[in-house]
Amino acid sequence: MPQTHETIPPQEPTLGSRGPLLRVENLTVDFHTYAGVVQAVRGVSFELGYGETLAVVGESGSGKSVTAQAILGLLPRPPAQIRSGRILFGGRNLLELGEREWENVRGREIAMVFQDPMTALNPTMTIGRQIAEGFQKHTGADAREAEEWAVELLRLVGIPQPEVRVRQYPHEFSGGMRQRVVIAIALASRPKLIIADEPTTALDVTIQAQILELLMELKTRFGTSLILITHDLGVVARVADRVLVMYAGEGVEWGTAEEVFAETRHPYTWGLLNSLPRLDKDRREPLVSIPGSPPNLLKPPSGCAFHPRCPFAMEICRQASPPEYRFLPTHGARCFLHHPAAPRIAPVVQGGDRA
C-alpha cells in the first residue's frame, strides 16, 4: 500500500460492545417463477456486531446472495416475496421501510460490493463520478469536494495516479482495479456495514488475496462491519470473526470462527471442511467430497434438507425439520444429532485448527 495521508485514523472495533448492529430473524424469501415457487431462503437468522466480520458460507443456491440482497432491499418484488422475518438494523426493521427511506439506508448505512467487477460499473460514466454520486447525494457535497474525496478513496484502495484515473472510464481499468473501484464506491459514504457478495470469485487467484487484504484493511480503518459471502473456506478461516453456514436456504450452523472450525456440530460443515485439500495429508489419500448435489428448491426435500446427502441421517431427519440447538450463546446448529435421543457418534474426520 502506498503511503497515504492520515485522513482516516484507524478505528478500534469493539466487538459486540454496543449490541448487534444487524440482526436477521427468521428471514423467508420465495421466488414466484413460471415453474412454481422457489423457496430460496427458508428461515435464516444471525446477528452481527459493530466492527465484526461475518462470513456466510455455502454452495451455489444456498440462499446467500438472496439474503444479502434482501438486507439492502434489492430483491425485485415480484417475483420475489419476503414471506416472513425481520431485518433489524440499528433498531429499525428494514423490511418496513418505504422506498424513500431505503434511499437513505443504501450506500449510506449499508453498502454492497458485487461479484463481477466487469459489469458492475457504468461504461459511459467516469470512475470519479460513479464514486462521488452516492456521496454527493448523501452529504450534499458539491462537485469539487466530491471529486477530491473520490481521488482520496482511489488512493486508499491502492490505485496509482488517482488524480488522473479519476477522470477515466471503466474500460480503462483491469478487473482487479475495477473491483478496487467498486470497493471505493462502497466506502464513499462511510457506511456502517458493507456486504461483499463473493468479491473475489471473478478475479484471478493472485488478485484475490490482494483484494481481500484491502478489504480487511479498509474495514479496520473505517470501522465498518463486514458480511463476506463466499464459498471459499480458506478465506473464511483467515478473516472471519463469525461464521454462518447455509444450506438450501437455511442456516445450518453458526458461531464464532473458532467454534465452527474447531468444534464443528453439523455434518454439512464437516463435509465442507473435509473437502478442503490439505497439504499435510498423504498424497495418496483420495479427495473427499460430499456425495450428491444441492437440492432443487422448487421441491425441497422433506424434513432436514441435507438428509439425502448426510452420512448420519436418521429416520427423524426425513420426517421433521430439526430445530435450533444451542451449545454456547454464540454457537448453534440445526441437526437432530444433538437431540438427547440421538446416538453418540464420532465424526469421521476432524476439521482441524483454523490454521
Site for another protein in 293-352 (CB under 8 A): 293, 296, 298, 307-309, 312-320, 323-327, 332, 336-347
Can you tell me which of 31, 46, 114, 254 binds another protein, judged by CB under 8 A?
114
Q: How far is the CB of 267 from another protein (least distance, A)?
A: 12
Decide whether 163 or 172 has the Cβ nearer to another protein. Answer: 172
Can you tell me which of 59, 116, 148, 217 binds another protein, judged by CB under 8 A?
116
Q: How far is CA 66 from CA 38, 110, 118, 140, in A?
A: 12, 16, 21, 32
Q: How far is the CB of 193 from another protein (least distance, A)?
A: 12
123 burial type by CB count under 10 A (0-12 exposed, 13-18 middle, 19+ buried)? exposed
Q: How far is CA 276 from CA 22, 252, 295, 298, in A?
A: 30, 19, 22, 29
Q: How far is the CB of 46 from another protein (least distance, A)?
A: 15
In angstroms, rounded to a whole number, what is the distance separating the alpha carbons of residues 282 and 313?
A: 29
Q: How far is the CB of 129 from another protein (least distance, A)?
A: 9
Residues 130-189 that bind another protein (CB under 8 A): 133-134, 137-138, 169, 171-172, 182, 185, 188-189
- Residue identified by cell 464464532 is 256
13 φψ region: left (φ > 0), alpha (ψ -120 to 50), beta (else): beta
Cis before 79 (ω within 30): yes
Can you tell me which of 292, 348, 349, 354 binds another protein, judged by CB under 8 A?
292
122 counts as binding another protein under rule CB under 8 A: yes
Q: How far is the CB of 210 from another protein (least distance, A)?
A: 21
Q: How far is the CB of 117 from another protein (least distance, A)?
A: 10
Task: Name the nearest CA neighbour of 149 among 195, 119, 189, 117.
Answer: 189
Decide whether 176 or 351 has the Cβ nearer to another protein. Answer: 351
Q: How far is the CB of 6 from another protein (least distance, A)?
A: 27
Q: How far is the CB of 214 from another protein (least distance, A)?
A: 18
Task: Name the nearest CA neighbour of 22 among 91, 100, 82, 83.
Answer: 91
Q: Binding pattern to another protein, positions 90-109, x when CB under 8 A?
A: ---------x--xxxxxxx-
Q: How far is CA 168 from CA 56, 163, 173, 270, in A?
A: 34, 10, 9, 47
DSSP 219: H
Decide whether 13 or 188 has the Cβ nearer to another protein. Answer: 188
Decide whether 209 or 301 has the Cβ nearer to another protein. Answer: 301
Q: Binding pattern to another protein, positions 212-251, x when CB under 8 A?
A: ----------------------------------------
Walk across the sheet containing 53-57 and list its strands: 110-113, 193-197, 225-230, 53-57, 242-247, 250-256, 332-334, 324-326
Residues 28-87 that bind another protein (CB under 8 A): 34-35, 72, 74
